[in-house]
Chains A and B, each alone.
Chain A
Amino acid sequence: MTAHQPLIYVVDDNVSICRALKLLLQAYGFKVETFTKAADFLAYKHPRQQSCLVLDIRLPDIDGLALQEIMAKKGITIPIIFITGHGDIPMSVKTMKAGAIDFLPKPVTKMKLLNAITLAISKSQAQLKKQAEIDKIKRRVKTLSPKELEVFQLVAKGMLSKQIAYKRGTSLQTIKVHRSRVMQKMQAETVTDLIRFAQMAGLTSSQN
């Protein structure tokens, strides 16, 4: 809990709630950023670190549900805990289906909030770990030459070296050289590894 204190975003149009939650969460050792508008939260540059969002469901500019959608579209994967002053059950169902961590009625007790935050942070951590791995793979992909990249994609699609050679109109030997260099640069031990890396780097869709 030193350099890597988790960061909690609080978005609520009520200034006093923002301030109170900030004080409370800081007292429990979190870093806290508060916003009274959803747009301000979206404009903020989110540092890559363990974080979660405590979000009021009814906001004057973009309501909580819409913000959840926008974040999904933009690839912002910060886990969300909804808080609400209304007793709207149908809404809670929707948010939970869309992947929210929890849906808490106001006034939120510290126990419930901290429990939800713990859950959200562990999810965030898992996401970060996965993201770090993806980044590592992507960095390796960048070291491939254009020809190697092409061979990588074709192998990932499940094509045999012979097929690739025939398609590219080159000798089998050349393809085999490219292929072993790809395995080396991607640090893959098997073809299965290679296919998984390609998926992680977004080079093939997982359907194929």
Chain B
Amino acid sequence: MKKKTTISKRLAIGKTKNGEQKRLKGVVAGLRKNRNGLNDKIRKQKNALVKKNGELRNGAEKQVRAEEQIHIRTKAMESAVDGIFIIDAQKQDYPIIYVNQSFQKMTGYQKKEILGQNYFLLYGSEADPQVIEKIKQTIRKEKAYHGETPNYKKDGKKHWNLLRITPVQDARGAITHYVGIQTDVTMMREKQKEIDEQREELLHVTRVGKLAEFVSSLAHEISQPLTSILSYAQAAQRMLADREPKLREILSYIIDDDQRAAEVIHRLRTLLKKSKPDMKQLDINTLINDTVELITTDATVRNVDLKRDFASHLPLVTGDRVQLQQVLLNLISNSFEALESSRDVREISIRTSLQDNDTIRVEVKDTGVGLPVENIPKLFTRFFTSKPDGLGMGLSISRSIIEAHGGRLDVDNNPGSGVTAYFTIPISTKDA
């Protein structure tokens, strides 16, 4: 602006010569052109700078973000509960190149002791060579491995390891690494073992109980004819009085043998006499949970939904744990069988509630086919069964167990479909 003003002033002053004026005009035009060109250049350079700057900033952000991602992933792997390790597959001896915290804790080895070592060295000398060979072969075939193996810590302690090894491929599909994840399943295995043992014990008790009931009923059936045989023979003996000594002798043999048979039955009955129940204070909800745990696998296999609806803070009851579990198992397995032929909802719900101030009520309800009405009164009769392979003992034993606990047990059809079996049990009177 200043420049422009100066030139205009000069023009105004020097109006003297035409030629001078023309020359000046040309100079001004040239200057203008130069100035415009300069402005363009500056603008272009500025734009380029802005662009470059943006690009740089973008790149830096991307870099930061990528670093963040790597950091998070590393952190995640470090914090994982499972042991994680990476093996370099491109080196001859397959060295471990990464382990996370949990891996160190599980094996008892420090990171520096592990890195660069072959994975199998960590198995210790007691490890099953066959298992190791199997894992090695799987890896050599470039396949994934999955299996439960016993493992030994640095201090020689054995633990069970659920191991999964998966190959990692590069862009061309070549295997460069293996990533391994291992979980300590020792506790789970122990728990499972405990459950299996409890289940076995319960099955045994149930079998013995069934046998005892069976023998008791059989004993009754046999003692009937033995009673009449004995009385017939003794009546005949009396009628003969002093006559027919030979016949009297025969009758005495009959009487002796009858009584021998009775003695055998008596001994058998004493042998199978139920052991005294082990009465303790129990929480019924815990008892049911423990029992349900025993049959969860069964329920899964049978595709049955097991529901629990427990009243909270129930008072304790006094009872024999194994016997009460036996009753529950019997009721649940009856429901399982009732659901066998049911196609729609396959559901068993176990409900506990306080029936009144002194009594707890336990219900096992299923959505099965229900019972034919005419069978209901016969359910508790020994030897009555609607199952092709049933003994007809379960409900009769269950009822006698519950009655011995001072409660009652009954079964009825639901208004809709299925059956509800329920029992009551008095609340423990002892101060808990």
A27 neighbours in B (Cβ, 8 Å): 234-235, 238-239
Query: How many angstroms between the C-alpha atoms of A31 and B334 in the bound complex?
Result: 51
| Docked-complex contact A24 and B231, CB < 8 angstroms | yes
Binds B, one of A45-53, A101-109, A151-159: A101-109
| Docked-complex contact A85 and B223, CB < 8 angstroms | yes
| Docked-complex contact B230 and A14, CB < 8 angstroms | no
Determine which of A14, A26, A110 lies in contact with B224 in the assembled complex, contact meaning CB atoms within 8 Å: A14
Name the interface size band of chain B: 20 to 34
Query: How many angstroms between the C-alpha atoms of A14 and B225 in the bound complex?
Result: 9
B262 neighbours in A (Cβ, 8 Å): 106-107
Binary interface profile of A, 64-108, with partner B (CB < 8 Å = 1, else 0)? 000000000000000000010111000000000000000001111
B215 shortest CB reach to chain A, Å: 11
| Docked-complex contact A20 and B220, CB < 8 angstroms | no
Q: Is A11 an interface residue (CB 8 A)?
A: no
Query: How many angstroms between the C-alpha atoms of A85 and B262 in the bound complex?
Result: 10
Do A85 and B235 form a contact, CB below 8 Å, given A20-B228, A107-B262?
A: no
B231 neighbours in A (Cβ, 8 Å): 17, 20-21, 23-24, 107-108, 110
Name the interface size band of chain A: 20 to 34
Query: How many angstroms between the C-alpha atoms of A2 and B312 in the bound complex?
Result: 74
B347 shortest CB reach to chain A, Å: 38
Determine which of B220, B236, B238, B259 lies in contact with A109 in the assembled complex, contact meaning CB atoms within 8 Å: B259
| Docked-complex contact A24 and B238, CB < 8 angstroms | yes
Residues of B206-254 whose CB lies within 8 A of A: 216, 219-221, 223-232, 234-236, 238-239
| Docked-complex contact B216 and A87, CB < 8 angstroms | yes
B324 shortest CB reach to chain A, Å: 20
| Docked-complex contact B216 and A19, CB < 8 angstroms | no
A24 shortest CB reach to chain B, Å: 4
Q: Is A174 an interface residue (CB 8 A)?
A: no
Query: How many angstroms between the C-alpha atoms of A105 and B224 in the bound complex?
Result: 11
B226 neighbours in A (Cβ, 8 Å): 106-107
| Docked-complex contact B232 and A20, CB < 8 angstroms | yes
| Docked-complex contact B235 and A107, CB < 8 angstroms | no
Query: How many angstroms between the C-alpha atoms of A40 and B235 in the bound complex?
Result: 25
Do A24 and B234 form a contact, CB below 8 Å, given A17-B227, A106-B226?
A: yes
Do A87 and B269 form a contact, CB below 8 Å, given A20-B232, A20-B235?
A: yes
Q: Is A207 an interface residue (CB 8 A)?
A: no
Q: Is A208 an interface residue (CB 8 A)?
A: no
Query: How many angstroms between the C-alpha atoms of A180 and B195 in the bound complex?
Result: 88
Which residue of chain A has its CB nearest to the CB of B273? A87
B239 neighbours in A (Cβ, 8 Å): 27
A107 neighbours in B (Cβ, 8 Å): 223, 226-227, 229-231, 258-259, 262
| Docked-complex contact A109 and B228, CB < 8 angstroms | no
Query: How many angstroms between the C-alpha atoms of A105 and B259 in the bound complex?
Result: 12
Query: How many angstroms between the C-alpha atoms of A110 and B238 in the bound complex?
Result: 10
A105 neighbours in B (Cβ, 8 Å): 223, 266
Q: Is A205 an interface residue (CB 8 A)?
A: no
Do A106 and B235 form a contact, CB below 8 Å, given A87-B216, A87-B269?
A: no
A190 neighbours in B (Cβ, 8 Å): none
A83 neighbours in B (Cβ, 8 Å): 227
Query: How many angstroms between the C-alpha atoms of A19 and B266 in the bound complex?
Result: 24
Residues of B12-27 whose CB lies within 8 A of A: none
B254 shortest CB reach to chain A, Å: 12
B238 neighbours in A (Cβ, 8 Å): 24, 27-28, 110
Which residue of chain B has its CB nearest to the CB of A89? B273
Which residue of chain A has its CB nearest to the CB of B261? A107
Which residue of chain A has its CB nearest to the CB of B240? A27
B232 neighbours in A (Cβ, 8 Å): 20, 23-24
Do A20 and B216 form a contact, CB below 8 Å, given A27-B238, A107-B259, A107-B262?
A: no
A16 neighbours in B (Cβ, 8 Å): 224-225, 228
A106 neighbours in B (Cβ, 8 Å): 223-224, 226-227, 262
| Docked-complex contact B227 and A108, CB < 8 angstroms | yes
Determine which of B219, B221, B227 lies in contact with A20 in the assembled complex, contact meaning CB atoms within 8 Å: B227
Do A109 and B230 form a contact, CB below 8 Å, given A17-B224, A85-B223?
A: yes
Binary interface profile of A, 17-41, with partner B (CB < 8 Å = 1, else 0)? 1011101101110000000000000
A108 neighbours in B (Cβ, 8 Å): 227, 230-231
B208 shortest CB reach to chain A, Å: 17
Given A16-B225, A110-B231, 10 other A-B residues pairs in contact with their CB atoms under 8 A: A14-B227, A20-B231, A20-B232, A23-B236, A24-B231, A85-B219, A85-B220, A106-B262, A107-B258, A110-B234
Residue pairs across A and B with Cβ atoms less than 8 A apart, 18 shown, are A14-B228, A16-B225, A17-B224, A17-B231, A20-B227, A23-B231, A24-B231, A27-B238, A85-B219, A85-B224, A86-B216, A86-B219, A106-B223, A106-B226, A107-B226, A107-B227, A108-B231, A109-B234
3 tightest CB-CB pairs across the interface, nearest first?
Answer: A20-B231, A27-B238, A20-B228
